[in-house]
Structure 1
Amino acid sequence: MDTSTPTTPHPHRLVMATADPIPSSSPAFGTPARPFRIPKANAPPPKTSILPILLPPSTLRPVAFRTFTRKHNLTISSSALQTLAAFVGKNCGSGWREEGLAERVLDEVAKIWKRAGGGVIVEEGKGASLKAILQSLEGSMSGGRVLAGRLNPHDGSIKTSRNGDGTRIESLTGHTNGSITTAPGDGDEDDSQLSLYPRTWLKVIAAFDVPRLTYNVDKKYFEATKSKPTLFPPPSHKTALFRDRYNLVYQRLLRNESFQTSSGITGVPLLQRSSSNLATQQSYKLTPIANLLGRNGTSHLLLGLLSISPTGDLSLVDLTGSVALDLSHARMIPEDGAWFAPGMIVLVDGVYEEEEMVKGSVLGGNTGVGGAIGGHFVGVSICGPPCERRDISLGTGNRRGGGEISSSGGFGWVDFLGLGSERAQGVRMRRIQEKCLRGDLDMTEPKSRLKVAVLSEVNLDNMRTLDALKKVFGVYNDLSRAERPQVFVMMGNFVQKAIISGGGRAGSIEYKEYFDSLAVVLSDFPALLQYSTFVFVPGDNDPWASAFSAGAASTIPRQPVPELFTSRIKRAFTAANSELGRSNSPEPVGEALWTSNPTHLTWFGPVHDIAIFRDDISGRLRRTAVDTKPDDEHDITMHEALDGPTDNAVSIAPEEEIDPVAQSNATKLGTGAATSMARKLVKTILDQGTISPFPLPLRPVLWDHGSALQLYPLPTALILADAEASPFCMTYEGCHVMNPGRLTPEGDIPIVRWVEYDVLRNRGKVREERY
């Protein structure tokens, strides 16, 4: 019997050999051949293993700086850099530098951070969660690279939802470290389902709803105050109120070109008036007050708060100390162009004289109570800190209707009003504004213009006021819907005297009857009630602040008029809207909003910010301003002794830009003195960056809500209702300031005056009618 091995292969083994072109890994041992699987076209590539390394944060710092700061205008904190170094070392391995893996990963992290609405400083708690971003990114990486096909925010790892106004919110599922809020300024945002009625995007933000922000000097960024606001805060909050004001002005000053150190410039020139903008040829240097000791007879430039010392003398205070101030030889810059009163932050240029050089000095020792140093500071010139334009503060450059974001820094990522920052929502809101104003709606009327009618000092206890209101409402009632104002701002005082304090009379009942009379007048114009928003801002005579102030300056910010007195007006709006029958219409109905003083009126988020404040501020400035009486001969001698002739000296105070059309209206309504006073008022307030630059005994302020009084960044428009000043409209550093004055001026001629403001043109005009 033949026991030899047959030479014919097994049929199955033959098929395997011919079907698999790849030979066996070990033919000598007869191991079976493994079938070669061809990957599918859509299958992800195999995940390459990476050998983790320990990457020090200092080694990654240059790459992070190049990616985050230079490319994306972001600043990364030390803790975030340490987190990113651990992530890159774990997921990119040794190829993080040679293969450029780290730069690509950091670039993707920066993009997600900006889309998530994070702040300009990359760290935890700045609008997005860095840990959540890295956890989501780690699942889409292979071989140290981010796979674009797997990085999809809608693949189930990120949950998407929408707010009522269409804002998209994306939160990471499966993680408890935080959530990612996507800014609605992304280019792929779908705006087709959003309302295209302009009044939908109108928001009234009360002072108590404004985010409480404080400037962090170390981080050079704004931070939200974590403590809960109260009417009885600890005394340290009073000190923080003025310290925050000083730090805000100080950082704004150092950002100015005139205070940027440049090579080849020595010495500190005096502050003098220039022909136009800030001087770029000179470099100014600030001296802390504490550094004046031992520097007798030297000239310095000081930044401090004007105050009254316990001895009754004028002094200058900064964060290091205080010094007695002598302004008897000081020259104001510009000449008679601004007020300087205690409570304001000013720049003073002059000479320090030590105590032993001052005859009859009452200050003992080098330092006194409260850090006061001996001697005094003889001021040569005094001016306010230069104002900063809104686009410079936000770092957006000059962008009218959009534009590229500047790389010069700024606070564009800070949400100052709680509606979203300029860089997060500005682009999208401008796109929505264009759609709203293109006439996309199916309306018979042409596209509407955004107008605001501003009426101030509406004294309802004066019968002439009701007749004047009928005239104003009648003027707009005869116009088409496109030409009517979409907002009416009615500002107090709604009574001439603070009768709400009682005194044996039924003040509350009378006050309610006055608003009932206003409701009767409004009911005669249902077209205005159906398509307009009425905003009511109280004054010092309105409840309940007048119950204890008796008409004097009450504490600000102050609450709106209580609902106890406004029920009749609300019923008038309800009745007018019910007659129209628009219950299912997407167009917003007319409404009456009662807000605080001060308040903000915003349109399309951060695009249009209109600050509103009712106060007789010009009279308070005239009563408390410092009166300098310079001796011209002595002044010229001191200038020549310190810095030579004054012909080439330059001022750091910018000239105001006056709207010629609005200025002509103001000139017709008042004398040249009234126009000069209006310029002084506007320059004083905007340079100080606050609507209440006074000491607390003169104008009380709620300590925990002091940030609501700041004008930084500058609003696009400011309604500064002052009944003691003539009506005016003018623009200073891009901010349009308006004062409607009294609704019914004093005199025998029945005249009604108000301001009509065009939001898109950022220009207002004073209107006048006889009734």
Structure 2
Amino acid sequence: MDSDPVPSSSPGFGTPAHPLRKNKSNHLPGRMSILPILLPPSTLRPIAFRTFTRKHNLTISSSALQTLAIFVGKNCGSGWREEGLAERVLDEVAKSWRKAGGGVIVEEGKGASLKIILQTIEGNMSGGRVVIGKASRKDPVAMSVPSRNRDSIGPRLQLSPSAATTLEDGEQGDSDLPLHPRSWIKVIDAFDMPRLIYNADKKYFEAAKSKASLFPELSKKTVLFRDRYNVIYQRLLRNESFQVSLGSSSLPSLSRSSSSFAPNQCYKLTPISNLLGRTGTSHLLLGMICDSPTGDLSLADLTGSIALELSHARTIPEDAAWFVPGMIVLVDGIYEEEETVKGSTLGGNSGIGGAIGGRFVGVSVCGPPCERREMSLGTITRLSAEEVTSSGGFGWIDFLGVGSERAQGSRMRQIQARCLRDIHRGPDSSRRTKIAIMSEVNLEHVETFDALRRIFGFYSELSLGERPIVFILIGNFVQKAIINGGGQAGSIQYKEYFDSLAILLAEFPSLLQRSTFIFVPGDNDPWSSAFSAGAAAPIPRHAVPELFTSRVKRVFATANAGSARSQSPEPIGEAIWTSNPSRITLFGPTHDIAILRDDISGRLRRSAVDIGQDADMSATMDQGMDNQKGFVSSVHSAGALAPQIGAESHSVPSAVHMSRKLVKTILDQGTMSPFPLSVRPVLWDYASSLQLYPLPSTLILADPEAAPFCMTYEGCHVMNPGKLIPQAALSSARWVEHDVFKNRGRVKEMRY
């Protein structure tokens, strides 16, 4: 037998050296006894921050940190720091958390179970170290999950970012996925979208806890505008021009010493309540334009309001956007203190939360700069394969209920590439990428049916690869709100219009079998038109009731029943009736298409504030406006449309200039309805469905009062199909054809 591995403690006293019998428990490789210690969470916090936050872009909660401190103290003992045992264990926990599809915040119940992960890692530890061979053979989370719970966790593991990188084409994980792009189209009703509210304290979006109602509490009205202000405020502070930089030499030098824009410094916003006692000084304010009971304008933020004087102001860029009450704007100007409040909405009260005495003389006014979708989500552009960055953003938030960008984006792009490749190799050899959009489809006119017959006939004669995968028909489906004036007879007549549309669609079974038809209502469609009589109805509004659409759905069922497609991966055609506004997603968060039907350009022109320009301004105001040019140019430098607006306003056609002006106004405000509730009513509990933050990849802005256009601003492609039948030519049809994967649209016109 071998000699005793434990020597005698006292050889001078003749202690016999009896050999110890070997057994399996004494000779496991690296087997050592660990003496547990009590490790405070504050002591472990630096290592946890370095491992979870800097290395894996995760945020650990206080409760999770306490759980990890107990785990490390128990399993690593006194060698947690000197031997680096804690850092290795925490790194393995972070990898398992990401692999299990957990969220950006590490805590119990946030996408993965921290308790199960620690139990699995503890079973694979020896001597305070994780045995790599045991932990890497199988998924540690799947090994510890009971068989009855694996079905619910499996889909999340399959679509997690880490698992997505291991599933290549031809592997078992992709064998059951649909292989046609139309299978990944999802139409999201405005009433089904997640109700998210921005928490200004946590700097994060949270789901609304209360149940949505058409008759909510009065406090929800305040939350509506406060949430809109907080979103724009945090978006503005993320702009480079409002961030402190060590190397600030690249910032424009502003010479006005009394302004908030000192040379080589970032721009600063002043709360309205801080204007008290600072008469004659220049400030930059961010607030909402409001109408006072006296008819004057005022500017309000979360701290107070002040009378606004814009008779000597100018817009920057010049004539680039509309400014109406209800919009949040940046105003640079001078504060003048007076004894009485002129134009106050609060009856002369002064102090925080009330009206500030005096007035604010605006020198220049501009909208808050827009933010690109990639910046809002914290991802790199598509040229870099949408890799996740560490720049923050809201990439982990599921804004539409189809998965967040960071959790599903990479995986969905892999599926998209495979679907397009397989469809191209399939028997049909068709790579269909287009959407046909038609607006103001008035079914009460015979000319409309002639135009639709020409368009559908044009596409049915094309090869399968050139046909659109989606047809979007947008109301108003009647020119006048007949539901209000005609009573029951109006409803019968309205149904007859859709019955006539069903007869027309039955003439093109090939389109019904291989395309998705989406119908979006207008203000004159039921049921809101029954009491609005064609006036502005509250939005979002429900889809056209099924009472009127049954005949159209029956035509689709008949066409699909007669089709002979047994081996084709393409799903059958269908008709979807959705709300106004609504969203269409293709391959999850990869393609986000927002649809809005509204006469928004006419409402902007009617409600626009008259911002004057006086030739006899003082030298101080002239200098302030010159300085503001540099401010706006730096703030809006990232936009592709902003330099064109104003710079080319005198050289471009009027219709193009008005289209640019409309697009910039809407996207800068980050909402589909930047109006007071008296001008455009909004259902308070569903106001989050109107947000344009982050920017969608595509916005369909159906406004028949504006000229048709297709243009891109800050990466968002905006399209307006205009009227299906132009007023100038009745024997013609006009619509927009949009290529989804190129994100480009084109206005098409057909004469007959």
- TM-score with structure 2 setting the length: 0.89
Distance 1:245 1:682 in 2: 18
Cα deviation, residue 657, structure 1: 2.4
Equivalent position SS for 2:606? helix
Computed over aligned residues only, the root mean square deviation of the Cα atoms, in angstroms, reads 3.5
Are positions 1:704 and 2:704 aligned together?
Answer: no
Q: Does 1:331 align with 2:314?
A: yes
Q: Is the 8 A contact 1:729 1:764 kept in 2?
A: yes
Q: Give the SS at the match of 2:750.
A: strand
Q: 1:185-584 maps to which residues of 2 (within 5 A)?
A: 186-189=164-167, 190-263=173-246, 283-356=266-339, 367=350, 371-400=354-383, 402-439=385-422, 443-504=426-487, 506-582=489-565
Instruction: Say if 2:711 is the partner of 1:730.
Output: yes
| Cα offsets for 1:583-636 (capped at 9, x unmatched) | 675431000011111111111111111111110100000000111111133065
Cross-structure match for 2:144: 157
Question: C-alpha displacement at 1:143, in angstroms?
Answer: 2.5
For 1:79, what is the secondary structure of its paired residue?
helix
Q: Which amino acid aligns with 1:214?
A: I
Question: 1:582 offset after TM fit, Å?
Answer: 3.7
Q: Counterpart amino acid of 2:466?
A: E
From 89, 114, 131, the counterpart of 1:130:
114
Q: Shift of residue 24 of structure 1?
A: 11
Q: Is the 8 A contact 2:506 2:555 kept in 1?
A: yes
Q: Please, which of 22, 37, 41 is the counterpart of residue 36 of structure 1?
A: 22
Cα distance change of structure 1 residues 343 and 361 upon mapping to structure 2, 3 Å threshold: closer
Return 645-654 or 740-749, whichever deviates more: 645-654
Contact 1:659 1:731 in 2 (8 A): no
In structure 2, C-alpha distance between the alignment counterparts of 1:687 and 1:313, rounded to whole Å: 25
Match of 2:720 in 1: 739
Secondary structure at the residue paired with 1:470? helix
Give yes or no for contact 2:699–2:719 (8 Å, CA) kept in 1: yes
C-alpha contact 1:203 1:602 (8 A) present in aligned 2? yes
Letter of the 2:283 counterpart: H
CA distance in 2, matches of 1:328, 1:161: 71
Give the aligned residue type for 1:168: P
What stretches of structure 2 of length at least 5 have no aligned partner?
9-13, 168-172, 257-261
Task: State which of 670, 673, 679 in structure 2 corresponds to 1:689.
Answer: 670
Counterpart of 2:409 in 1: which secondary structure? helix
- Structure 1 unmatched ranges of 5 or more: 1-19, 171-179, 273-278
Q: Which residue of 2 aligns with 1:673?
A: 654
Matching of residues 754-769 of structure 1 within 5 Å: 754-769=735-750
Q: Is the 8 A contact 1:184 1:424 kept in 2?
A: no
Q: Tell me which moved more, 363-372 or 607-616.
A: 363-372
* CA 1:52–1:369: 2 relative to 1, 3 Å: closer
Deviation at 1:21, TM superposition (A): 4.7
- The answer on whether the counterparts of 1:73 and 1:407 sit within 8 Å (CA) in structure 2 is yes
Cα gap change, 1:299 to 1:228, in 2 (>3 Å): same
CA distance in 1, matches of 2:411, 2:227: 32
Please tell me whether the aligned partners of residues 185 and 427 of structure 1 are also in contact (alpha carbons under 8 angstroms): no
8 Å CA contact 1:639–1:646 kept in 2: the answer is no
Are the structure 2 counterparts of residues 659 and 492 from structure 1 closer, same or farther at C-alpha, using a change threshold of 3 Å? Answer: farther
Alignment deviations for residues 102-159 of structure 1 (CA, whole Å, 9 cap, x no partner): 1122222222222333332333443334334333433333322223333332764225
Structure 2: distance between partners of 1:288 and 1:58? 36
Show CA shifts across 1:305-358 (max 9, x none).
111123332111111111111111111011000001011110010011111499
Q: Report SS of the residue matched to 2:134.
A: coil
CA distance in 1, matches of 2:152, 2:6: 64
AA in 2 matched with 1:331: R
Q: Is the 8 A contact 1:243 1:319 kept in 2?
A: yes
What is the CA–CA distance in structure 2 between the aligned matches of 1:488 and 1:710, rounded to whole Å?
24
8 A contact 1:168–1:183 mirrored in 2: no
Query: Which of the numbers 96, 111, 126 marks the counterpart of 1:112?
Result: 96
> For the structure 1 residues 117 and 264, does the alpha-carbon distance in structure 2 shift closer, same or farther, using more than 3 Å as the test?
closer
Change in Cα spacing, 1:313 to 1:243, as seen in structure 2 (3 Å) is same
| Residues 588-607 of structure 1 mapped to structure 2, 5 A cutoff | 588-607=571-590
For 1:430 and 1:187, how far apart are their aligned partners in 2?
11
In structure 2, distance between residues paired with 1:766 and 1:607:
24
Q: Is the CA contact (8 Å cut-off) linking 1:656 and 1:731 kept in structure 2?
A: no
C-alpha distance after superposition, 1:201-253 (max 9, x if no partner): 11111111111111122221111112111111111111111111111001100
Tell me, yes or no, if the aligned pair for 1:535 and 1:594 is still in contact at 8 Å: yes
Instruction: Check conservation: 1:530, 1:589, Cα contact below 8 A.
Output: yes
Assess if the C-alpha contact under 8 Å between 1:658 and 1:732 holds in 2.
yes
Work out which of the residue numbers 41, 58, 63 in structure 1 matches 2:42.
58
Counterpart residue type for residue 389 of structure 2: S
Distance in 1, Cα, partners of 2:154 & 2:264:
47
Give, in whole Å, the separation in 1 of the partners of 2:52 and 2:484.
59
**How far 1:648 sits from its partner (Å)?**
5.7
SS at match of 1:188: coil
Q: Structure 1 pair 185/609, CA: closer, same or farther in 2 (3 Å)?
A: farther
Give the match's secondary structure for 1:98. coil
The letter of the residue matching 2:403 is G
SS of 1:90's equivalent in the other structure is helix
**Alpha-carbon deviations, 1:698-728, whole Å to 9, x = none?**
1111111111110111011100000100000
Q: Secondary structure at the match of 2:616?
A: helix
Question: What is the number of equivalent residue pairs in this alignment?
Answer: 729
What's the CA shift string for 1:507-551, capped at 9, x where partnerless? 111111100111111111111001000011111111111111111
The structure with the largest helix share of the pair is 2
Name 1:3's counterpart in structure 2.
none
- C-alpha contact 1:162 1:169 (8 A) present in aligned 2: no
Deviations 1:387-415 (A, max 9, x none): 00000111112124724222211111111
Deviations along 1:77-105, whole A, 9 cap, x unmatched?
33332332222222222211111111122
What residue is the counterpart of 1:139 in the other structure? 123
Q: In structure 1, how many angstroms separate the alpha carbons of the residues matched to 2:528 and 2:632?
A: 46
Q: Which amino acid aligns with 2:327?
A: M
Deviates more, 1:577-586 or 1:558-567: 577-586
TM normalised by structure 1 equals 0.87
Q: 1:707 to 1:442 in 2, by over 3 A?
A: same
2:621 — aligned with what?
638
Please list the CA deviations of residues 455-485 of structure 1 after superposition, one character each: whole Å capped at 9, or x if unmatched. 1011011110000000110111011111100
> Residues 53, 226 of structure 1: CA spacing in aligned structure 2 closer, same or farther, 3 A cutoff?
same
Question: Structure 1's 26 and 473: CA in aligned 2 closer, same or farther, altered over 3 A?
Answer: closer
Determine the C-alpha separation between the residues in 1 that align with 2:345 and 2:17: 107
- Whole-Å Cα distance in 2 between the matches of residues 608 and 567 of structure 1? 30
Residues 612-670 of structure 1: CA distance to partner in whole angstroms, max 9, x if unpaired?
A: 11101000000001111111330654233x5887786653334752599xx9xxx9xx9
Question: For residues 348-389 of structure 1, what are the alpha-carbon distances to aligned partners after superposition, in whole Å with 9 as ceiling and x for unaligned?
Answer: 100111114999999976607951111011100011100000
Contact 1:439 1:447 in 2 (8 A): no
1:261-295 per-residue CA deviation (whole Å, 9 max, x = no partner) reads 235869997799xxxxxx99762100001100010
Structure number with greater Rg is 1
Higher alpha-carbon deviation: 369-378 or 62-71: 369-378
Q: How far 1:452 moved relative to its partner?
A: 0.6
5 Å-filtered alignment, 1:4-23, equals 20-21=1-2
Runs of 4+ in 1 over 4 A off after TM superposition: 20-35, 37-40, 43-47, 159-167, 180-185, 263-272, 279-282, 357-366, 583-586, 642-650
Query: Counterpart of 2:358 in structure 1: which amino acid?
Result: G
Counterpart secondary structure, 2:464: coil
What is the identity, as a one-letter code, of the residue corresponding to 1:188? T
Q: What CA distance in whole angstroms lies between the structure 1 residues aligned with 2:108 and 2:18?
A: 56
Hey, what's the Cα distance between the residues in 1 that align with 2:441 and 2:155? 42
**CA shift at 1:62, angstroms?**
1.5
Q: Is the 8 A contact 2:428 2:464 kept in 1?
A: yes
Asked if the contact 1:529/1:576 (under 8 Å) is kept, the reply is yes
Matching residue within 39, 52, 67 for 1:83: 67
